[in-house]
């Protein structure tokens, strides 16, 4: 599967897709880790279209029995850090080792006037959850986010 709606500055791709009152996020990349990074970019774009400066880094770790559940854990870790730190993140690095993920989020505190947050994500869900490697070798990772 290839993503086509939006292209991140890093050259990776992400997109949103409609789902009733919620929103789908999907990232694509050459590796599963890059697809996860792009899905995180799509998550941030649900909240704001403003540029997010990489002023602060936050380390997160997740573990799950498979890649699909690991994507949900990853996105929910970002949502948690957004909520408790009152921050937005605009750059991501992911390392996946089997069932474990170590990630770095770079971002800044929310500035209402500049970021104009559109909504607050409540959580990544299992709905339309899919992490796949296409026959052409490209990875995609996506799910519905409750907003």
In a domain, residue 66? The reply is yes
Q: Which positions ≥6 away from 61 have C-beta within 8 Å?
A: 100, 101, 102, 103
pTM of the shown model: 0.91
In a domain, residue 3? The reply is no
pLDDT at 18: 84
Q: What phi, psi does 64 have (nearest 5°)? A: -155, 160
Domain count, the chain: 1
108: domain range? 22-146
pLDDT tens-digit readout, 83-128: 999 999 999 999 999 999 999 999 999 999 999 998 899 999 999 9
Two structure tokens written together for 36: 């996860």
In a domain, residue 13? The reply is no
CATH of the domain at 105: 3.55.10.10
Rg over CA atoms, the chain: 14
């Amino acid at each position: 599967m290839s993503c086509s709606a939006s292209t991140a500055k890093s050259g990776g791709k992400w997109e949103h897709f409609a789902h009733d009152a919620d929103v789908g996020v999907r990232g694509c990349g050459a590796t599963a880790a890059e697809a996860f990074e792009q899905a995180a970019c799509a998550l941030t774009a649900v909240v704001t279209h403003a540029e997010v400066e990489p002023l602060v880094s936050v380390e997160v770790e997740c573990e799950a029995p498979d890649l699909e559940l690991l994507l949900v854990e990853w996105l929910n870790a970002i949502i948690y850090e957004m909520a408790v730190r009152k921050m937005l993140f605009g750059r991501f690095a992911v390392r996946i080792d089997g069932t474990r993920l170590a990630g770095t989020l770079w971002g800044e505190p929310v500035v209402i006037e500049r970021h104009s947050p559109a909504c607050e994500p409540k959580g990544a869900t299992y709905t339309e959850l899919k992490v796949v490697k296409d026959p052409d070798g490209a990875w995609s990772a996506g799910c519905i986010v409750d907003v």
